[in-house]
Amino acid sequence: MLDVTGLSVAYGKHPALNEAVLRVNRGEIVVILGADGAGKSTLLKAVSGICEGRVQGSVTLNGTELVGLPPHRIVEEGVALVPEGRGVFPDLTVQENLTLGAYSDRAREEEGANLERVMTLFPKLGERRGQVVRTMSGGEQQMVAIGRAMMSNPALLTLDEPSLGLSPLLCKELFQNLSLVRETGIGILLVEQNAKQSLAIADRGYLLENTRIVHEGRAADLRSDPAVQAAYLGGGGTATGAVAGKTTAPKTPAPAARPRPAKGPAPSDIAAQALAGLPSARPRPAPTAAPAPKPQPAAPAAAPPPRPQPAPRPAPAARSEADRVLGAPVTDMVARAADLSRQRGGTVRPARRPEATPRSTPTFPDLTSGSDDRLQSILAEIEDAAARARDWRPARPRKEET
């Protein structure tokens, strides 16, 4: 099903992945183990088409070459990513988060059936379909993230350290859920530092050290391999995991990692995966309620504060940059969030905010540079749009969906 051959990635002059070769079969869980900075996330990003580095080599899914395709096309081909940090929309409900995952052509026609499938697989999501995600536990939010990825009707689910930050009990539940996903025939490519639990459910595994795959084998064999035990399963390696759930580092230390802007979910991962399934030319009409006003770009120091203006359309170059980085225009996401609000609330009415609690007006990010800061802004924009969508309610109090 998924065949990776000779896959190399470099960020500028710095190689992050060298000549990786791996395979994931249908209905198989394959885990990639490795120390911090070994190149695990880079591998997943390259498979999903959201890698910021230079990608060379081949990634095929059922014979279709994915390298070079934009992220939303890769989703269409059947690859779904659950990014590190989950990337759920905290102010939307479970069902709204799930539905947002079904916006690839591949998934749209079967949205209802997929929703049922996800809710049957994870009954808790069905019970909580009307619950706002921010009020859920970390494990439940992770379940929403996996459910949303499954709404794109994937052949392959890729997950970047899904157990990060979860309690041991929730980790157990998470890995059980992944076993359930496997039973549906979906292949799973899992990056984990929780070697013990991931090897317990995996069929096969690869060890990634210093940008190279140095070993592969059946999960059962890896679990009993003394070298793997020493390096990853607490059998003598030096524990380095600063985060609960991480185990131990390999014997061969990773090279000094280049400093990264921040640890945790990269905004590009979150935004790209959330938006990847949204087609650029949306057939659905944009909602009549205008998005929140944007400030004018810059006002002279002596001038009075600028009055909010209608959102400027991004310049063509900026839009295409956003498309290139994210796979779909950010504005589509805003429209979709408003659309969702209207569907669930009947009438779309921008909420009047009390004078005493003014909210800062979001600024439209300059998308031309594609830097992490810009992507942070995009993420903030999306989350703000989701918050506004939440507030667009009819006058009478909304009854929570059940």
x/- site string to ligand ATP, residues 217 to 256, per CB under 6 A? ----------------------------------------
Nearer to ligand ATP among residue 254 and residue 387 (C-beta): 254
Q: Return the H-helix or E-strand segment holding 208.
A: strand 204-209
Residue 203 in contact with ligand ATP, rule: CB under 6 A: no
Nearer to ligand ATP among residue 11 and residue 173 (C-beta): 11
CA distance 70 to 67: 9
Nearer to ligand ATP among residue 33 and residue 318 (C-beta): 33
- Name the residue with tokens 């991004």: 314
Binding residue (CB under 6 A) for ligand ATP from 16, 119, 278, 337 = 16
Contacts of 384 (CB under 8 A, 6+ apart): 292, 362
Ramachandran quadrant class, 87 (left: phi over 0; alpha: psi -120 to 50; beta: rest): left
Minimum distance from residue 106 beta carbon to ligand ATP (Å): 27
Minimum distance from residue 239 beta carbon to ligand ATP (Å): 15
Footprint of ligand ATP on residues 250-269 (CB under 6 A)?
A: 257-258, 260
Question: How many residues in the shown chain lie near ligand ATP by CB under 6 A?
Answer: 14
- SS3 label, residue 23: strand
Minimum distance from residue 84 beta carbon to ligand ATP (Å): 7
CA distance 151 to 104: 9
Minimum distance from residue 73 beta carbon to ligand ATP (Å): 22
Q: Are strands 54-61 and 2-11 parallel, antiparallel or unpaired?
A: antiparallel
Strand order in the sheet with 54-61: 14-24, 2-11, 54-61, 64-65
Q: Return the H-helix or E-strand segment holding 217.
A: strand 212-218
Q: Which of the ranges 29-37, 120-128, 165-173, 332-340 carries the binding residues for ligand ATP, by CB under 6 A?
A: 29-37
Strand order in the sheet with 29-34: 79-82, 156-160, 187-192, 29-34, 204-209, 212-218
Minimum distance from residue 352 beta carbon to ligand ATP (Å): 42
Footprint of ligand ATP on residues 31-60 (CB under 6 A)?
A: 34, 36-42, 52
Minimum distance from residue 269 beta carbon to ligand ATP (Å): 10
Binding site for ligand ATP (CB under 6 A): 11, 16, 34, 36-42, 52, 257-258, 260
